[in-house]
Amino acid sequence: MKRYLFPGVVLVLAYPLLAAGYPVWERLGALVLLAAIGASAWNIVGGYAGQVSVGHAVFFGFGAYSAVVVYTHLGWPPIAGAPIGMLLSVAVAAVIGVPTLRLSGHYFSMATIAVAELVRVLSSTSEFLGGAQGLTGPAMPRTVFDLSFLSATPFYYIFLAVLAFLLGLTWWIERGRMGFYLRAIKDSERAARSLGVSAGRYKLYAYMLSGAFTSLAGSLYLCMFGFVDPESGFGILISVKMVVMAALGGAGQLFGPLVGALILVPLEELSNSYLGGRGAGLTFVVYGAIIVIIARFLPSGLLSLFERRSAKPAAKSEIASGHAD
């Protein structure tokens, strides 16, 4: 992996120069990074800790709505809603997490779906949030803080900075005690607890942190698109896409969600802009088929291809005889 790092970094930094003059491609770069932020945030609790939330749209929506609400109701620039959204999301994560994180496996997933749907339906009945029509950000940029740009390139660099920070933070967590503990909880919560791991607390920390950054992704989304409604904020597709991107690249791996975003976002965007209409239907058929094929043949994600090659061969020895089950 290491030898790809330097050329990778150069390419990422220089991408807007290569895409300059092609708005579709400029936008695409920013969208990949935005999706990667969301999926990487999900990865903290869903990938590392193995608590598969399919309701992260709750946090995404809170972020998006916080940004637009501070504009609509207070006249602030939307980005000022980002920290508010993050704080709110941490609180919301605690409220949702304490009861649901006791559930295991599919039950946790189903509970998170239900909570997200509950919030989606509630948001569509709330006048404060613009009801089913949603809310729109500033039509005209008033100051530079409104982050209204003609090209997507400034967004590209903003998203890149956020993603770099998030991945740096994840990397730091991964190497420390919390990272070890989250993986232990994922493998066997019972064994982890027998070794003094406060599983409930660590899962909750991971969930809150994950929620905060998912919310930030939502706020950034609003800054770029200037609009959110219940479906684009709290819809189940938002949640599922985070899961699918992370799982496709490799859940519980630092760069897994980014790899997933690099594949899925271009597939989706380019088909939308070049085909449109029914043609897009056909591309999504291909998109679905690709996901199925990867799940079938690489169940641990694309990055497991590299891992398999570099992993040390399973050591067989005198005590590594029979097989346990």
Based on C-alpha coordinates, what's the Rg of the chain? 20
Q: Which is nearer to other proteins, 12 or 199 (CB)?
A: 199
Q: Which of 52, 79, 82, 223 touches other proteins (CB under 8 A)?
A: 52
Shortest Å distance, C-beta 141 to other proteins: 35
Shortest Å distance, C-beta 321 to other proteins: 5
Q: Between 23-43 and 199-225, two packed helices, what is the crossing angle to 10 degrees?
A: 160
**Do residues 303 and 249 touch, judged by C-beta distance below 8 A?**
yes
22-54 core/surface letters (b: 16 or more CB in 10 A; e: else): eeebbbbbbbbbbbbbbbbbbbbbbbbbbbbbb
Tokens of 269: 């965007």
Shortest Å distance, C-beta 23 to other proteins: 26
Residue 296 binds other proteins, judged by CB under 8 A: yes
Residue 316 binds other proteins, judged by CB under 8 A: yes
Tell which positions 225-244 bind other proteins, by CB under 8 A.
Answer: 236-237, 240, 243-244
| Ramachandran angles phi, psi of 148, nearest 5° | -105, 110
Residue ranges in 101-198 assigned as alpha helix (H): 106-125, 153-175, 177-187, 189-194
Residue 91 binds other proteins, judged by CB under 8 A: no
Q: Which is nearer to other proteins, 3 or 190 (CB)?
A: 190
**Do residues 133 and 223 touch, judged by C-beta distance below 8 A?**
no
Residue 267 binds other proteins, judged by CB under 8 A: no
Q: Which stretch binds other proteins (CB under 8 A): 29-37, 114-122, 149-157, 159-167?
A: 114-122
Residue 94 binds other proteins, judged by CB under 8 A: no
Name the strand (E) or helix (H) holding 227: strand 227-228
Q: Which is nearer to other proteins, 125 or 133 (CB)?
A: 125
Residue 221 binds other proteins, judged by CB under 8 A: no
Residue 321 binds other proteins, judged by CB under 8 A: yes
Number of residues that bind other proteins (CB under 8 A): 84
Number of H helices, E strands in the chain: 14, 2
Shortest Å distance, C-beta 86 to other proteins: 24
Residue 185: closest CA among 173, 196, 172, 169: 196
Residue 11 binds other proteins, judged by CB under 8 A: no
Tokens of 12: 């990422």
Give me the 116-135 binding string for other proteins, x by CB under 8 A, dash otherwise: -xx--xx-xx----------
Residue 2 binds other proteins, judged by CB under 8 A: no
Residue 102 binds other proteins, judged by CB under 8 A: yes
Residue 308 binds other proteins, judged by CB under 8 A: no
